[in-house]
Amino acid sequence: MSAALAADSSQSDFVIQTKNLSKSYRHGWFGREKFHALRDVDLNVRRGEVFGLLGPNGAGKTTLIKLLLGIVHPSSGQAQVLGENAGSQHARRRIGYLPENLVFPRHHTGEGALQFYGRLSGLSENAIRKQMKPLLEVVGLLGREREPVRKYSKGMRQRLGLAQAMLHDPEILILDEPTDGLDPLGRSQIRKLIERLKQSGKSVFLNSHILQEVELVCDRVAIMAHGKIRAVGNIESLIDQHTHARSVDVWLEVAGDENTCRQLFVGTDVQTLESLGKLGASIESLDALHIADEAALQRTRFRVQLKIDELSQSDAWVDRIRSAGLSLISLQPQRLRLEDIFVRLVASLEADSQVATRSK
């Protein structure tokens, strides 16, 4: 590992740092075909943050985790974990890892599994005994630890996996799909656990498909696709970045004469114009609303989607509506979510790769 990377790591206090990290596999007869699982990944995870890694299936997320743990060897590039070479025994001693689809050997009980993995992590029997009970309580397995793991549900196995990852009090936790197989309550518990870990100063590297979850717990995220990091940053800045970069959708609801409406909302800005029917049709009891103006009830409601480049353009549209004698019922700019950004990024890449494949 280069000295530069090490110096960087100590200065900025990154717990995970990769530079031009690449991994390719050979397959086919005599390994003639090459598959690039990771390409030039540069990633920095700060101490004490919860970092989420997002990406579609086959994006290279698990490969990246395996590289960080030394389970696979990089083809090129560098990776450091806690200032140590990724995969070194020193580094692994300070990592707690929860793999995806965790399987415990069938002969273990919950307690036996924790003892076994505790010993593998170099813990003394005393330390294991001391840590075990509070951990089992935290993950909600206290009282079930003597049962054989083969009788555990998937959720229980996942909790036990989390317990073993935390047993040796690691500085960083790498959690691969931690809420997989858990019920909503379990997910909520795991989220709380991650928050507690964060509060206690631990760094968490989270790999998850569930974007809402990532949105809820992660300080920063990276989006991977086709072995490359496509975006990285905190969620707000990612949204801002993508909001500014493109036009904004604004939803309007107006009421008025149908012809006037149709004449007004013409042009490139208008995405959709949808009639919602007569205003009175949606009101079941006129008495209840004390509306006396019969004429008003004959007006038609419309929902309009406008695509505007800047929010200031919406003022001009309000003026136009009012001057045309239409009533503005509501105006709501559409806010981007992480999922939209994810879908946009991945979809555009898929399209690019399809075009590239066709052009070949």
Q: What residues make contact with another protein under the rule CB under 8 A?
A: 25, 66, 69-73, 89-90, 92-93, 95, 97, 99-108, 112, 116-117, 119-122, 161, 164
Nearer to another protein, 209 or 220 (CB): 209
Minimal distance, residue 141 CB to another protein, in Å: 17
Minimal distance, residue 123 CB to another protein, in Å: 9
Nearer to another protein, 121 or 179 (CB): 121
Nearer to another protein, 202 or 301 (CB): 202
Helix or strand holding residue 18 (H, E): strand 14-27
Nearer to another protein, 99 or 233 (CB): 99
Two structure tokens written together for 183: 């019920």
Minimal distance, residue 135 CB to another protein, in Å: 16
Nearer to another protein, 25 or 274 (CB): 25
Minimal distance, residue 32 CB to another protein, in Å: 17
Please work out, in degrees rounded to the nearest 5, the angle formed at the alpha carbon of residue 321 by the alpha carbons of 319 and 323: 65
Minimal distance, residue 13 CB to another protein, in Å: 22
State the Cα–Cα distance between residues 163 and 157, nearest whole angstrom: 10
State the Cα–Cα distance between residues 214 and 32, nearest whole angstrom: 39
Q: What does the H/E/C string look like for 119-141?
A: HHCCCCHHHHHHHHHHHHHHHCC
Nearest 10 degrees: Cα torsion 310, 312, 316, 319? 140
State the Cα–Cα distance between residues 231 and 139, nearest whole angstrom: 33
SS3 label, residue 12: helix
